[in-house]
Structure 1
Amino acid sequence: MSPSPAGPPPSDGLLSATRRNLRELAHGLSHASHPPTPLFAGSPRRWLRLLPYAAVVALAAVFVPVTIQVLADDYAVPGGLAGALGVGQAAPLLMLAHRPLQAWWIVFTADVLGALVLLGRGPEEPGTIWPWTPPAVVAYLFVLLALALRESRRTVIGVWLVTGTAGLLLYLVAPGRSGGTGVLLFVLGGVVLVIGAAVRERGEAQRRLVEQETISEAERAQRTLLEERTRIARELHDVVAHHMSVITVQADSAPYRVGGLSDEARAEFASIAAGARESLTEMRRLLSVLRSDGTRGELAPQPGLDRVQQLVEATVRAGLPAELSLAADVAEAVERGGVPQTVDLSAYRIVQEALANVVRHAPGARTRVSVTAREGHLTVLVVNGRPEKPGSSLETSGTGHGLVGMRERVRLTGGTLDTGPLPDGGFRVAARLPLPPPQPPRHP
């Protein structure tokens, strides 16, 4: 039996992990992790979108002349060479708004070249520091801050390590001339990168939170819409089931009420009664599913316009000054059954929800409820004034779910709904529900 092959030595695993991490760092340093769009590009405020551009222009306008002057005066660099180095070290600040990684490559290269140029200029001038000049250190920190706000963590770590490596190599080249700015830039750069990354991650967390809140609000609105539709379906079932029961009874009793019917007519009435009973069975099965929450309140008779007066009186007792104007023809139509039950129930629910909104959002406001029938339509109008005491609203912000339920009920009947605030600070709800054409009187 041959011995099983031994696994790779631990050193090979460590080397492969190191090579993989180095490849990832190199990829992060050569590929930006975001599109070339500036900060606040999606902000609705114009001044906020222009702020990054104004900031980088101000930085470049300050650091380009300062860097050139420091190189020429303090380090005795010739004017042309000082100008080239100053532009290379400070002009890329203009790119920080949209391409900070590319700007870092230019600034980093120019800073290293500047350190080598200063090294070749001979002995160090009194009062000067090396390898990084003071303007170069400050400008470099702004570059690191822009990187931390835009780039990924892998890119930020790679930039920090490259910065420290460059400072270490320059120190090894001329340890006697190093003024400690290599270590200073490495430490300050790490602090700036950590702060920038923390700010960026906090902003991303807030953005994700806003997105989640938006999704949750949309889900709540959709759930409310589905619940309202389910409730309407229950009420619609009750209305249709009543009429189907009447059809069944009439079809079953027709052969006994009407004499002289032929066998074909009796069979036709029997077929109608059987079809109605089958439809009732299916609808009761559907109702059992819709009412699977175990509530029993839905089994009560559904309200209508005949109970609007009681609804308004209950609202008045709750402290809301409300008055009702119910046209005589509407009351008469309700009594004789001239208003379809879906319209009757929808009108009641609209008044109920409108009064509830007034109680919640405008307590003490004078409210007028008007129900009229004209030109084949039932018009329900609920208008309230401004609250009795401004700022006394029981709910500071509404979800709009009540208006969703109103629209669903109006859509069910084929009517229209108009809602909105009034110039005096009140609110208006107007529903127009269609009525069937009047039937001609039937003579015995």
Structure 2
Amino acid sequence: MTSAEEGPPPALLAGASRRWVRLLPWAVAFVLCVALLPTTIVVLTADYGLTGGVAGGLAVAQAAPLLLAVVRPLQAWYVVFVADVAGALALLTVDFQERLLWPFPPMEIVGYVGLCLALGLRERRRTLLLVWLATAAVNVALGFVAPHGFGAMGLLFTILGGVALLLGGALHERSEVQRRLVEQETISEAERGRRTLLEERARIARELHDVVAHHMSVITVQADTAAYRLDGLPPDVREEFTSIAATARESLGEMRRLLGVLRNEEAHGELAPQPGLTRIGQLVEAVAKAGVPVEFAPCDADVPEAVGLSAYRIVQEALANVVRHAPGAPTQVSVSEDGERLTVLVVNGPPPEPPAAPLEEGGTGHGLIGMRERVRLADGTLDAGPLPDGGFRVAARIPLTERHFT
């Protein structure tokens, strides 16, 4: 792909968050160009004795490309480098005073240093090394034809150019390291959120597996024992019960083969019966012992197991967040049902005093991700967010219709 197809490269510091930083390279390039262009003409004509036409051409070739350096510093370097060398050779044709700097007058050194700084901010180490080697080689080579001898001052072009390249390269690498760290942190955070979501889905699948397996097992047992429990069943009814039992047993086995892999050998705790509404009171008691004053309005309604389990998990996560982020905050927990849906409400006020050291630095919202996913799978709704007084509210509404859970 050609550069035209890719589009022009971004300007130096174009990724900075502050506008004045993004404009800084253009401002510096403009100032250098405006200052060096007339200065070069005056110095080359008045001090060194070049004609106005030659001095003007050299000044334009040496100063104008500095504006290009903001976007394409390497291409600007080619032009300025050739112009600087041409200027050094042009000065050999005139007789100038020994006190004047040669092969590169001071204004050329200033422009070249600015250009090298732009190169360091954009190019790779190898390119910067080649630029410096070319600078040093030309500087030393011109020293052999110096009209008044060649001393340490003649190496300023190489020394200051190398310092600018080194400084720009160091700033460029530091910026790259910071950018990559930010990208990695963003990727890691997204991956943690995704992993948490997948883990929550896997746990929900395991829990649903337990609930469905229980119901399927009951169906199988009832169909198998119908002939012994009910007297006088016609043969076709007995055959129907047998078919129901066989189908239920086959479905149960298939489900276990598909979802059983979600149980790993380390998840021993999840082999126990799953908690429901009756266990929420134990959660409240445990949190109260941890120093959080909790008011609890229980619900004794008979709800599907998956609904009770979802309510338990939501209260569990909400109370855990209170303990983590608002220790000691007064909290109200209520569970109610209206015949169509189960409503779970957990509201906490602000903590009595800000914790000296939070138990967790920087909340990730992964608990909310799990709650939202659990409620979404049950076709319910979740409303969670901060309150004006500094507290937090979690409200979940889960339908009770059997078609979602059987």
TM-score normalised by structure 2 residue count: 0.89
Match 2:140 to one of 158, 164, 168: 168
What CA distance in whole angstroms lies between the structure 2 residues aligned with 1:179 and 1:140?
20
Q: Decide whether aligned partners of structure 1 residues 40 and 322 sit closer, same or farther in structure 2, where only a CA change above 3 A counts.
A: farther
Task: Give 1:312-323 correspondences, 5 Å limit.
Answer: 312-323=284-295
- Let me know the Cα RMSD of the aligned residues: 2.6
1:165, distance to aligned residue in structure 2 (A) = 2.5
Q: What is the match of residue 442 of structure 1? A: none
Asked whether the equivalents of residues 383 and 429 of structure 1 are also in contact (C-alpha less than 8 Å), the reply is yes
1:91 equivalent to 2:64? Answer yes
What CA distance in whole angstroms lies between the structure 1 residues aligned with 2:18 and 2:231?
82
Distance in 2, matches of 1:71 and 1:179, equals 21
- What are the within-5 Å matches in structure 2 for residues 142-153 of structure 1? 142-153=114-125
The superposition leaves residues 369-413 of structure 1 with CA deviations (integer Å, 9 ceiling, x where unpaired) of 222223622121212222222254321212222112111211221
Q: Would the alpha carbon gap of residues 169 and 354 (structure 1) be closer, same or farther in structure 2, given more than 3 Å must change?
A: same
Write the distance in 1 (CA, Å) between the matches of 2:373 and 2:304: 17
- Structure 1 partner of 2:33: 60
Distance 1:287 1:437 in 2: 21
Quick one: structure 1 residues 437 and 164, their matched pair in 2 at CA, closer, same or farther if it must change by over 3 Å? closer
Q: Deviations over 1:159-214 (max 9, x none)?
A: 22222232233222335354544422223322332332233223223322332232
- Bigger shift: residues 387-396 or 293-302: 387-396
Corresponding letter in the other structure for 2:84: D
For residue 201 of structure 1, the aligned residue among 149, 166, 173 is 173
Q: Is 1:358 paired with 2:358? A: no
Aligned pair partner of 1:417 in 382, 389, 405: 382
Question: 5 Å matches for 1:172-191?
Answer: 172-174=144-146, 176-191=148-163
The more displaced of 137-146 and 162-171 is 162-171
One of 232, 240, 243 as aligned partner of 2:215: 243
2:103/2:146 contact within 8 Å kept: no
Q: Distance in 1 between matches of 2:129 and 2:116?
A: 11
Q: Of residues 334, 346, 354 in structure 2, which corresponds to 1:390?
A: 354
- Distance in 2 separating the partners of 1:198 and 1:71: 34
CA contact (8 A) 1:320 1:365 kept: yes
| Range that drifts further, 266-275 or 372-381 | 372-381
- The count of residues paired between Structure 1 and Structure 2 equals 398
Aligned partner of 1:357: which letter? Answer: N
Given that 1:367 and 1:384 are in contact with CA atoms closer than 8 Å, whether structure 2 keeps it comes out as yes
The DSSP-based 3-state class of the residue aligned with 1:120 is coil
User: Residues 131 and 179 of structure 1 are in contact (CA less than 8 Å); yes or no, is this contact kept in structure 2?
Assistant: no
Query: Aligned ranges for residues 29-48 of structure 1 at < 5 Å?
Result: 36-48=9-21
- For 2:391 and 2:119, the matched residues in 1 are separated by 52
Q: How does 1:12-411 map to 2 (within 5 A)?
A: 36-122=9-95, 124-174=96-146, 176-286=148-258, 288-326=260-298, 330-331=299-300, 333-334=301-302, 339-374=303-338, 376-392=340-356, 393-411=358-376
- Cα distance in 2 for residues equivalent to 1:166 and 1:341: 84
Q: Please identify, of 105-114 and 234-243, the stretch whose mean Cα deviation from structure 2 is larger.
A: 105-114
Residue aligned with 1:261, SS: coil
Shift of 1:269: 0.2
1:75 & 1:175 partners in 2: Cα distance?
Answer: 13
Contact 2:101-2:154 at 8 Å conserved across structures: no
CA deviations 1:405-425 (Å, max 9, x no partner) are 111211221111122222222
Q: How far has the Cα of 1:240 moved from its partner?
A: 0.6
Identity within the alignment, %: 62
Q: Give the 4+ runs in structure 1 shifted more than 6 A.
A: none
Paired amino acid for 2:389: D
Q: Does 1:435 align with 2:397?
A: no
Residues 328-384 of structure 1: per-residue CA shift (max 9 Å, x gap)? xx42x23xxxx1111110011001001101111111222222222236221212122
Unaligned runs of 5+ in 2: 1-5
The letter for the 2-side match of 1:173 is: V
The runs of 5 or more residues in structure 1 that have no matched partner are 1-32, 439-444
Where 1:315 maps in the other structure, the secondary structure is helix
For residues 391 and 211 of structure 1, the distance between their equivalents in structure 2, rounded to whole angstroms, comes to 31
> What displacement does 1:111 show?
1.4
CA distance in structure 2 between the aligned counterparts of 1:435 and 1:225, rounded to whole angstroms: 24
Aligned mates of 1:177, 1:422 — CA distance in 2: 80
C-alpha distance in structure 2 between counterparts of 1:179 and 1:82, whole Å: 25
Relative distance call for 1:39 and 1:420 in structure 2 (3 A) is: farther
Tell me the distance in 2 between the aligned counterparts of 1:75 and 1:44. 45
What is the CA distance between 1:35 and its match in structure 2? 5.4
Question: What TM-score, normalized by structure 1, do the two folds share?
Answer: 0.82
Aligned partner of 1:361: which letter? H
SS of equivalent residue, structure 2 residue 395: strand
Give the SS at the match of 1:42. coil
The one-letter amino acid paired with 1:309 is G
